Structure 1
């Protein structure tokens, strides 16, 4: 095996690969509770920036639609086929994606983001060479602190307690 580059770490763990447009986003498998169909989303009574709600474990939870730059969308693109259910600590949040794959015991090198790319408002913690490009690595904790996620979870909690 070659020499380790600065900022590189190698670990073995299960991840799920979410494809959203041209972005590949890897999350720890334990962060995703279920994968539901986009066909099950109810768009009525959605609280922005959610595009709808989905029933999961006896309640309805908000669903967020993002583009490949992790910006919130006001609609559901036709390419979105799956809704992954993320545990928020106080409930669940649906995240739409084009495709979901389980990467069992994925072994590879994670590279820390270059200093110039590290901003307070990015949920991306590292990158990893994957297939013919790079995959962005994050987890639910970082995603929940990011833009539309934070707004959506706050709005949902207010509605539930009203």
Structure 2
């Protein structure tokens, strides 16, 4: 679940609970508000979108803050949708998987969810930050986002391997 997180950046228990609640409620809030927002983006297109954000993030300055936050939110929403799809795939194939492969997929998804929570914490910090702290907040988010993308790609690989094993 996204609710469990161990980060090297301390947060109060209440902040962590609020972030966890927001992350858990976000898919439902988006689903109610827009049918197209919850469409799952194809993994290759999402990978391109994630790479574009990583490249463009360095270019955003304080004057482009709103554009940056919108771009980040759009990409995180697409990642959330894909994470949900990976969770569903894992759940539906659970009984058909080898125990070792199932454990690897479960570990990979847990790591992905921890990294997603960490990125959400940095997103919130960026959103709440003063203009003079924009660059340091952006750097912190960039680090968290890079690790999130890495964890997502790993989870895609592990879940795909588990699907192939389940089909054999």
Q: TM-score range by the shorter chain?
A: under 0.3
- Compute the TM-score of the two structures, normalised by the length of structure 2: 0.27
Normalized per residue, which structure has more strand?
A: 1
Higher helix share: 2
More relative contact order in 1 or in 2 (CA 8 Å, sep 6+)? 2
